[in-house]
C-alpha cells in the first residue's frame, strides 16, 4: 500500500489567513513551518488514486504530489475519487474544485452524505459540470475501487456534526469516522483518524491491529484553546482528544506496536514549531508528527 500525506493542518491551515498567533506568525516568517489542510492520497492500483478528504487546498496538494499529476492524455487524471471521514468544511470544500473531472466517486457515511447533499447542496452544484457517484462508507470492508486490492471501512469515533448541519439527520456515531485501509495482498493496515472525540473499544481494536496509525493531533493539551485565547472551550469539548496529559492519546499510542504519527495540527499547537521541545517528548515515546509530502509505504 502506498500513501502520500498531502497536508497535516487543522481547519484554517497554517498560517490561517486571519490569525496572528505565534504559530501562524512563525509560519509566515519561516515557510518550512507551513502546513496545508490534513489529507492523504491512497493508491488503489497502478492507475487510480483516492484522496482522503477534499480540502480547500486540493489544487495545490495535487500539484505537489507527482503521483496525482494528469496524463498521458490532456485530461487524464489518476484521481478517481474521494473518501470522507466527516462533513466538516475543511475536509469537503475541495469537492467543488473537482468539477473539471469527467467523473469521480465519493465514499461517505450516510449522515455525511445527507449533510453535503441537503445543506451544502454539493450534488446540485456539481451536476452541471461532472458526474458524481456516491458509495456508502460503512463498518464492513469494501474495495476502495472496483478491482482494487485495498479495502476500506469506517470506525465510528464521534457524533459531532458540522455547525452548518445542526438539526439535520440522526445523532449517529458515524458523523465522524476513522478510516481503516487494508491491503489484502500484504495484510498491512493503516488507521487514519484526523478527528477523534472518543477512544472507544472499536477504535482501540483497530489501532491494535494496524501497522500504521495516523491520528488527531489538533491540540497538545486540553486547555490549549483557552490558553491561546482562541476559544473558551476545551479540546475535548471541541471534539478532539488532546495529545498530552493522563488521558491523552500519546500514552495510548505509545503502547501500540504500530508506527504512530500525529496530523491535523491546530495553529495553536506547539508542535507546529519544529524546534519545540514537545517533539523530543513524543520521540521519547516512539511517536512522530506527520509532515506534508511524507510518503508511507506499508
Full pLDDT tens readout for the chain, 298 residues: 999 999 999 999 999 999 999 999 999 999 999 999 999 999 999 999 999 999 999 999 999 999 999 999 999 999 999 999 999 999 999 999 999 999 999 999 999 999 999 999 999 999 999 999 999 999 999 999 999 999 999 999 999 899 999 988 778 999 999 999 999 999 999 999 999 999 999 999 999 999 999 999 999 999 999 998 888 899 999 999 999 998 899 999 999 999 999 999 999 999 999 999 999 999 999 999 999 999 999 9
Give the architecture-level CATH label for domain 2-297.
4-Layer Sandwich (3.60)
Distance CA 144, CA 254 (A): 29
User: What pLDDT is stored for residue 170 in this prediction?
Assistant: 78
User: What pLDDT is stored for residue 52 in this prediction?
Assistant: 98
User: What pLDDT is stored for residue 208 in this prediction?
Assistant: 98
Fill in the DSSP letter of residue 46. Answer: S
Residue 181: exposure state from Cβ atoms within 10 A (0-12, 13-18, ≥19): buried
Q: What Rg value do the Cα atoms of the chain yield, rounded?
A: 18
User: What pLDDT is stored for residue 111 in this prediction?
Assistant: 96
Distance CA 82, CA 65 (A): 16
* pTM of the full structure: 0.97
Strand partners, 42: 3, 50
User: What pLDDT is stored for residue 171 in this prediction?
Assistant: 85
- CA distances, 166 to each of 9, 12, 236, 265 (Å): 24, 21, 19, 25
Amino acid at each position: 500500500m502506498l500513501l502520500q500525506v498531502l497536508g497535516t493542518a487543522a481547519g484554517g491551515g497554517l498560517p490561517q489567513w486571519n490569525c496572528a498567533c505565534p504559530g501562524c506568525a512563525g509560519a509566515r516568517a519561516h515557510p518550512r513551518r507551513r502546513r496545508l489542510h490534513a489529507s492523504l492520497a491512497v493508491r488503489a492500483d497502478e492507475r487510480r488514486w483516492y484522496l482522503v478528504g477534499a480540502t480547500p487546498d486540493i489544487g495545490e496538494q495535487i500539484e505537489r504530489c507527482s503521483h496525482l499529476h494528469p496524463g498521458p492524455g490532456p485530461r487524464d487524471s489518476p484521481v478517481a475519487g474521494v473518501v470522507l471521514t466527516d462533513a466538516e468544511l475543511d475536509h469537503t470544500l475541495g469537492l467543488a474544485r473537482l468539477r473539471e473531472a469527467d467523473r469521480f466517486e465519493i465514499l461517505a457515511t450516510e449522515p455525511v452524505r445527507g449533510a453535503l447533499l441537503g445543506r451544502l447542496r454539493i450534488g446540485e452544484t456539481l451536476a452541471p459540470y461532472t458526474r458524481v457517484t456516491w458509495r456508502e462508507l460503512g463498518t464492513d470492508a469494501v474495495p476502495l475501487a472496483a478491482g482494487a486490492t485495498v479495502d476500506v471501512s469506517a470506525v465510528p469515533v464521534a457524533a459531532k456534526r458540522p455547525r452548518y448541519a445542526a438539526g439535520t439527520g440522526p445523532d449517529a456515531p458515524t458523523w465522524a469516522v476513522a478510516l481503516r485501509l487494508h491491503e489484502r495482498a500484504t495484510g498491512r493496515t493503516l488507521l487514519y483518524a484526523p478527528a477523534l472525540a472518543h477512544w472507544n473499544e472499536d477504535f482501540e481494536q483497530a489501532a491494535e491491529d494496524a501497522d500504521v496509525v495516523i491520528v488527531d493531533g489538533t491540540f497538545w493539551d486540553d486547555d490549549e484553546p483557552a490558553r491561546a485565547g482562541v476559544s473558551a472551550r476545551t479540546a475535548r469539548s471541541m471534539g478532539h482528544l488532546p495529545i498530552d496529559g493522563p488521558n491523552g492519546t500519546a500514552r495510548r499510542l505509545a503502547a501500540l506496536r504500530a508506527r504512530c504519527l500525529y496530523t491535523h495540527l491546530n495553529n495553536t499547537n506547539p508542535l507546529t514549531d519544529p524546534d519545540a521541545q514537545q517533539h523530543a517528548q513524543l520521540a521519547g515515546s516512539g511517536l512522530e508528527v506527520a509532515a506534508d509530502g511524507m510518503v508511507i509505504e506499508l
